[in-house]
Each structure stands twice: as structure tokens, then as C-alpha cells.
Amino acid sequence: MSNLNEHIRSLREDFSKMKLDESMVKTNPFDQFEVWFDEAVTSNVNVPNALYLSTANSEGRPSGRIMLLRNFLNGGFSFYTNYNSRKGKEIEKNPFASITFFWPELERQVRIEGKLQKQTMEDSDEYFMSRPRESRIGAWASAQSEVIADRKVLEDVLENVTKKFEDAEVVRPDWWGGFILIPDHIEFWQGRPSRLHDRICYKKDSKENWKIIRLAP
């Protein structure tokens, strides 16, 4: 490509598939999320449970990565990770975070902000044991976010862990488990023409009630 910046500047997408207004949404944001998530699944959105998790360290320096939603209840959104990873250490120091879903096929985005807390050991055990055996062994083999010399280091550790569990059940390591984001802010974004998008936001008040407001695009 001769001029990448020129190409980037020329990219345009005018969204026009659907609209969103206050009369269309559920009173509870979790019910509204379920409606949109179901529509993402039935519309064959690519990896509908992929989310972008943003965390920040104690100095406020942000970092982000793609994760997978593994459950959402009337209270929070959960994912699983290595607690000793960069995100795990950042969450330990600063539990406030945000997650974002983007479903381009539907011209939709959901932004969720709140506070993370660890899931119970029982919940983490249950999910870990539902994973394929190879994935459970992989969790033991990877010191996530640590510097390693090359790929062979990882493969050697994997070989040793595989031998260790050759005749044993692969149980959850103590340093691996779930987090659940308890939200106080959930925004549903629907793309509209001329960048005049619809943004319907649920904000939790001091009495733990959800208030629905509209934001300017």
C-alpha cells in the first residue's frame, strides 16, 4: 500500500441498519444485554463473547487485551485468567476496570464500567474442570506475562507438566481463577447515519437503582 495514512483517512463506514431509543430498551441493563447478546449469536457475529478488558495499574497507566465472557448474571460479567498475569496484578492494586463488546455485523457496541472482584474458589473450580484437558494443562504450563527466552522454554515446561499429570486429574492451580465485573455504568451504542449514533446509558444511583439516560454521540 503506497500511502497507509492516506488510506486510513479515507476509510468511511456510515451505519444505518437499526436505531435505539429509550422506549425500546429494558428497564434492567442485564435484561437488555441478554437481548443484544442473543441477537449477536443468532446473527452469527464472529466470537460474540469476545470482550476488550481495560485495566490500569496503581499509577493509572492503562493496558488492554481481548478476553472471553464466560458468564453474566444479574449482578456481573465474568472471565477467567492467571491471577499472576499483568492484568491480575493490576486488578489487585486497582480493581476498577471496563469491558467493551463490539459487534460490527450489527453496528453495535456495549461499554461496561465497574469494579472487579474474584469469584469464589468453587465457581473457579467448576469452570476450570469444564475446560478441555489440554487447556487445563496449558494453564499450569504458562507463567502468563513473564519473560521467557524462547518458545522452547514453554514447550519444555508443557512437556514436564503433561508428564506430571499423566495419571492424575488436572485440577485448578491456586493462581488461576475468575473475576466478575460488578457494573455501575452500562452503555448501549447503536450506529446511526452521519455519526449521529444512539447512546443509551444505564447509571446506578446511590440507592443501587438503574437510571436510563441518553448521551450525545
133-181 pLDDT, tens digit per residue, is 999 999 999 999 999 999 999 999 999 999 999 999 999 999 999 999 9
pLDDT greater than 70 at residue 2: no
CA distance 106 to 48: 11
Instruction: Report how far apart, in Å, the C-alpha atoms of 193 and of each of 101, 107, 201 are.
Output: 20, 11, 20
The overall average pLDDT reported for the chain is 94
Residue, of 16 and 89, whose pLDDT is higher: 89
Strands 62-68 and 71-73, how do they pair?
Answer: unpaired
User: Can you give the pLDDT at residue 16?
Assistant: 76
> What are the CA-CA distances from residue 98 to residues 80, 115, 144, 167 (Å)?
15, 8, 21, 41
Confidence category of residue 101, pLDDT binned at 50, 70, 90: very high
User: How far is it, in rounded angstroms, from Cα 191 to Cα 212?
Assistant: 19
- The full set of domain ranges for the chain reads 15-131+175-215
pLDDT tens profile 116-139: 999 999 999 999 999 999 999 999
Predicted confidence (pLDDT) per residue in 21-36, tens digit: 999 999 999 999 999 9
Q: Is 151 a catalytic residue?
A: no
Spell out the CATH class of 15-131+175-215: mainly beta
- Residue 207's pLDDT is 84
Retrieve residue 198's grid coordinates.
444512539
Q: Which three cell numbers stand for residue 18?
A: 437499526
What 10-13 contacts at long range (C-beta under 8 Å, 24+ apart), as own/partner pairs, is 13/191
Of 16-20, 30-34, 67-71, least confident by mean pLDDT is: 16-20
pLDDT tens, position by position, 82-93? 999 999 999 999
Does position 187 have pLDDT exceeding 90, yes or no? yes
What's the mean pLDDT in 191-198?
Answer: 95
61, 65, 133, 195: the active-site residue: 195
| Residue 6 pLDDT | 83
pLDDT attached to residue 14: 76
Whole-prediction pTM value?
Answer: 0.91
Please report the pLDDT score of residue 13 as a whole number. 78
pLDDT score at 1: 57
Sequence-distant contacts of 159-164: CB under 8 A, at least 24 apart? 161/137, 162/137, 164/140
